[in-house]
Amino acid sequence: MGEILEIKKYAKENHVPIMQDEGIAFLCDYIRTHSVKRVLEIGTAIGYSAIMFASTSPDVEVVTIERDETLFKEALVNIQKMKLEDRIQVVFEDALTANITGKFDLIFIDAAKSQYQKFFLKYQENLADDGVIVTDNLSFHGMVEHPELTQNRNTRQLIHKIQDYIEFLKNLEDYETTFYSLGDGVSVTKKKPKN
């Protein structure tokens, strides 16, 4: 696990945002207990969460999308170091235009927060019937619940976008969402059973 600590250290030193410990523990636990086999991740960064997901079991395969070339390359290096290149495919593309085929048991949205709704709408067709779409950062450092914590105009706009996304999730007719106030705020959305 020394390599994982190195990746976390690199992320901290280079200001690369990666999942918080509580959020990653929750997701890895979910993958184990629900026998998740195929994960699609929107937002690789340097491969930390993809590596953690793939490390839960030799049966887990991850496809992960990253649009930033420097981060993409760093992710490839980290994944090779962990000898996980057979089970983690990193797609270097904008997730809004990428063409991903196949179905996934878990789709993890962890990219540009202003685009969450677009990611959800685009990738729902890749969701297996009993799969889940998980979204991170719905609390955004507590500012979604308390917008008064910031006066920054851009941050406020982002907070509004996240609030809109939360409302969007709550109002989806074909899905039900559970919100968890762990890590930076995580939601788990699943298809409602068909009658």
175: which strand partners? 191
Which positions ≥6 away from 85 have C-beta within 8 Å?
76, 79
Q: Look up residue 52 and give its amino acid.
A: M
- Provide the minimum distance between the beta carbon of 17 and ligand SAM in the complex, in angstroms, as a whole number: 4
Report residue 14: phi and psi, to 5°: -105, 15
Tell me the torsion sign for CA atoms 150, 141, 47, 189.
negative
C-alpha span between 63 and 188 (Å, rounded): 19
List 4, 112, 143, 149, residue binding ligand SAM (CB under 6 A): 112
Closest contact distance (angstroms) between CB of 7 and ligand SAM is 8
CB of 122 to ligand SAM, least distance (A): 10
Is 90 an interacting residue with respect to ligand SAM (CB under 6 A)? no
User: Which residue from 54, 111, 127, 134 is in contact with ligand SAM, where contact means CB under 6 A?
Assistant: 111
The contact set with ligand SAM (CB under 6 A) reads 17-19, 41, 43, 45, 48-49, 65-68, 71, 94-96, 110-112, 115
